[in-house]
Amino acid sequence: MEWNLIDKQQEFLKQLERQGKSFNTVKNYKADLQCFNTFLIAKQQHLKIKTFTTIQVQEYSQYLDKKYGSPNSVRRRVQALRLFFDYLLMLNIFPENPLKKMAVSPKVLDDPEPSPFPEVIKTYELLKQRVASSEGLTQLVNMRNVVIFHLIYGSGLKVSDLAKLSFESILKDKSNYRVLVEHPKRDPYSIPLPAVFNRDFHLYQNLRSEHFEKQGLEIMELLFNANPYKILSGGLSPRGTELFFEEIRRELKTEMTAKSLRQSCIFKWLNMNINHATIKEWLGVTPGYSLELYLEELKKDPAGKVFQDLEEDDE
């Protein structure tokens, strides 16, 4: 059967989009596959492969080792190609995955780089100022962004977790709230939210109910996607959250990302002396996951890693 490598790569990337992979994830896979294409051209294969032998696998491994100094960069590109060949295997184009036995170095964990606490406070102040100085749909979107901030810094959620939340995911726990996280392959668990979330969540509820009632909207998801004129859909994709942080970085001239804010939350929990097993549970990682890198950073610079829950008057 005749087939085109580029076409199959495009189909593979489309499948990742349908599976809900974020914009950045798909973009990274595309770049990783382009690296493979560059290798083939360098070997004068002109993107036409009927077989990919063990020798070629070894050559590609050597090519990556020379081109990239970082073991994580090599690992990522091997993993992308391995998944692509799994896709070709599923289509019966290849009889087996030639990358399956390719040895790669273990993943090297980068040192955590949390957003500094003054930057966390500054971001929260900006978000609340935006709410106070706006109205209508703009105010509702600004309030949604405050809720996103709380869910990441307050409870350490990943952007992929945010996309799946419904209003029923916010549970009342005595005087405060918890957020329920559900994954298809593990038991659900809940994470406490700080007291400052209460007031902001109540305002979000009121603004959302008022706007949805006027517009005749029925959306079960906690978050939503909107343009300046109307709400487009329920739920907010990882890319939508990434765009929110891009805007924050431009305005405040910071390096804050969803990941760095989440790491700030982890340091906050460590400063609060939360049991490590509990922190791992809240992060949704296995008991074998190590917090050692965070603990080492905390020892090296305890004064620079002071994080705490925001107070009611931190506005």
The predicted pLDDT at position 46 comes to 63
Per DSSP, the three-state class of 253 is coil
What does the alpha-carbon distance between residue 221 and residue 215 come to, in Å, rounded to a whole number?
A: 16
pLDDT tens digit sequence for 71-128: 777 888 888 888 998 998 888 888 888 887 676 655 555 689 999 999 999 999 999 9
Q: HSE of 294 in the Cβ direction (CA atoms, 13 Å)?
A: 21
The predicted pLDDT at position 206 comes to 96
Adjacent-strand bridge partners of 183: 186
pLDDT tens digit sequence for 180-225: 999 877 789 999 999 999 999 999 999 999 999 999 999 999 999 9
Q: How does the average pLDDT of the chain come out, rounded? A: 88
| Cα 115 from chain centre | 16
> Tokens standing for 95?
């009889």
pLDDT tens digit sequence for 276-313: 999 999 998 888 888 999 999 999 989 889 999 998 75
The predicted pLDDT at position 153 comes to 98
The predicted pLDDT at position 314 comes to 45
Domain assignments of the chain as residue spans, ordered by start: 5-90, 117-305
With 90 as the cut, is the pLDDT of residue 144 above it? yes
pLDDT tens digit sequence for 18-29: 887 777 788 889
| Cα 193 from chain centre | 19
CATH 1.10.443.10 fits 117-305, yes or no: yes
3-state secondary structure 81-140: HHHHHHHHHHCCCCCCCCCCCCCCCCCCCCCCCCCCHHHHHHHHHHHHHHHHCCCHHHHH
The predicted pLDDT at position 176 comes to 93
- Among 293, 291, 136, 145, which Cα is nearest to 229's? 136
**pTM, to two decimals:** 0.72
- Among 290, 306, 309, 299, which Cα is nearest to 115's? 306
> Tokens standing for 167?
């209003």
What does the alpha-carbon distance between residue 264 and residue 266 come to, in Å, rounded to a whole number?
A: 5
58 vs 270, which has greater pLDDT?
Answer: 270
